[in-house]
Each structure stands twice: as structure tokens, then as C-alpha cells.
Amino acid sequence: MTTFHDTSLRSFASDNYAGVHPEILAAIAAANGGHQVAYGEDVYTEHLQTVMRRHFGPAAVPFPVFNGTGANVLSLQSLLPRWGAVVCAETAHINTDENAAPERVAGIKLLTVPTEDGKLTPELIDRQAYGWGDEHRAQPLVVSITQSTELGTLYSAAEITAITEHAHSLGMKVHLDGSRISNAAAALDVSLAALTTDAGVDILSYGGTKNGALGAEAVVVLSPEISEAGDSLKYLRKMNMQLASKMRFVSAQLIALLENDLWLRNARHANAMAERLAAGVRDLPGVTVTREVEANAVFAILPAGAADRLRKQFRFYDWNVATGEVRWMCAFDTLESDVDAFVEAVAAEAV
């Protein structure tokens, strides 16, 4: 087949722009050939159960899916009755970037809370966690947090534990949107379990695509006390069109990420490239790095017009049009030379 794109091209718009890690392509090829039972009864999906439990504990039950929106909707849907609601940050991906999928597909009310840094706290949760038994109010039964957040910030294990303990004391469950949990764990130098199972999270949307997979995520039931969520996911996954017929190829990607710590190598590299980028532009005249770099995102404000000129060479997105803030993302395949070329371009335009 003809290659239709310039394979040397790099952007800083999203880690979703990156290709597929060679080890994951090799895993897909290794899973090919012959016949395997469809819809998850294959040997790769069976092995994935073992691999996931090594990282998330013996009670973990993964349900492979295609994408992050599907993982989030399924996770929340499995925890809630029809009258249930989710408390989340105002900037949460489920609120801002999923085209109302939780509301329209799952019929879930989102109760949002404004935050300074994209992170919830027990005190912030309490702004929406009330009204139980009031038939006029959607019942707040789940808290959803994102790791790392849309603002590039990280929850420590202790901060997540404080949230889960508070939520559980109110009779609420906790969902973690982990589309970039690998970057968070790498930056904090902790295990995946430390940020999830050990911290009391009930259910996880595990992200593989942003970390080098072709299209592989998973809903992971973590708490044995929500076995009913696992029971319902069996049916919800099919209803929501997230049940892969040839699931072995989704599971093989997740195995490749998790079995030999490819997830960690990829995340560490992306994070390091973001640090390199921030360091390269921080002292440039007219450039302000607006947030601390905690994972693989860099936020900055450039002189008027500079962003549009830069986008003729490198694609990236505005974050806040009103303030001129932009967001730059690094990925597993971002090279030092890519960063240095971008820094040079920023220096040339930000004058």
C-alpha cells in the first residue's frame, strides 16, 4: 500500500496524533492467523485478565473497548440507576469533549464543579453532593476524576484516597478517567495500582490509545463490592457498540502495553519531552508557560498572532481563546529533535 503522508511530520496537538508503537504492531501481528472464538472468548482476552490483575490487584476485571468515550460512558452507566448523577470537575473530559455522550447515550446527569486546577477535593465534591431522597434532584451517586486532568495536573495517591474515602462515606462510588493514567503514574513514580485500587477507586477507564496503542482501552472493575457493575457491563458493552467481535486484537495491544512495562517506557518518554519543551520556551521573550508541567502537556501564552503563524508548520490547539493560551502535547514518539525544531520555530515567531 502507498504511504499517503509524510512520516517525518510531527505535531504537538495531541498524543492521539502519534502512530502505533512498533511493539504493539508486532503484538497485533502475533495475534493474527488461524481462528479464535469471537467476542472475547479468545486466549488473548483470557490472558489479559491475568496481566491486568498483576497491575490492579486480584479483584480487577477488565472489559476491553475501542475508545475512551466508550470506556467512560460504560463505566458510569454500570454504576448508576436511571436517576443517578455524576459529580465531576467543570473541565472534565466527560463534560467538555465527549459531545454530551454521557447525557445522550447513557442518560446521565453531570453535576459539575468549577476548580482552579482541574482537580476535585472532598470540599468541592460537597458543593454538588446533596439532595439524596429529593425526587426533584438527580441523585449524586458517583464521583468522576481524571488522571492526569485536562489541565495537565496530577492527583497524588493520597489525594485520590481522600476523595474515595469521602465519597464512600456518602454512599457514592468513584470512577477514574485514566486516558493518561500511564503518564501520571510515570510522573509520580508509583504503580498503576497506587493510583487506583490501593486508593479506593471503584472503576477505571484505562487508556491505551494515547500511550501507543492503535485503538485499545478498557473498563476495569476494581472493587469486588461493585460486582453488579461487572454483571451489567456484559450487556452494556454490546448495547453501546463497544463489544469487539475480533477482541483478540484489542486485548493483544493491552497485553503488549502492560506485560513488559511498555506503558511506563512510553509515558516516561512523553513526559520527558514535555519537560524539554517547557524548558526550551520558558525563557523566550514574549512566551509565558502558564502551568507547571506535571505530565506530557505544556500550556503557554504567545504574543498575538504567533500561534497562527506557528501552526503553518506545527499543528496544535488553542486552549483558551480569550487569554491566548495554547496547549502542546508530547507523545511516545516525540523526538528530542522534534522538540528542538519546535522551540526554534517558537523563538522565531514569538518576537
CA distance 250 to 214: 8
- Bridge partners of 217, per DSSP, are 65, 207
User: What is the mean predicted confidence (pLDDT) over 137-157?
Assistant: 98
**Residue 54 predicted with pLDDT over 90:** yes
The residues of the chain that CATH labels 3.90.1150.10 are: 263-349
pTM: 0.96
**Residue 9 predicted with pLDDT over 90:** no
**Residue 347 predicted with pLDDT over 90:** yes
The residues of the chain that CATH labels 3.40.640.10 are: 31-260
User: What is the mean predicted confidence (pLDDT) over 104-129?
Assistant: 97
Q: What is the mean pLDDT of the chain?
A: 96
**Residue 8 predicted with pLDDT over 90:** no
pLDDT digits (tens, 9 = 90+) for 235-262: 999 999 999 999 999 999 999 999 999 9
pLDDT of residue 208: 98
Q: Which CATH number fits domain 263-349: 3.40.50.1370, 3.30.70.80, 3.40.50.300, 3.90.1150.10?
A: 3.90.1150.10
> What does the angle CA 12 – CA 17 – CA 23 come to, to the nearest 5 degrees?
115
| Backbone φ, ψ for residue 285 (5° rounding) | -60, 135
- Per CATH, domain 31-260 is 1.10.3430.10: no
- Cα dihedral 305/306/307/311 (nearest 10): 110
**Residue 31 predicted with pLDDT over 90:** yes
Please name the residue ranges forming H helices in 112-247.
Answer: 122-125, 157-169, 181-188, 227-239
**Residue 333 predicted with pLDDT over 90:** yes
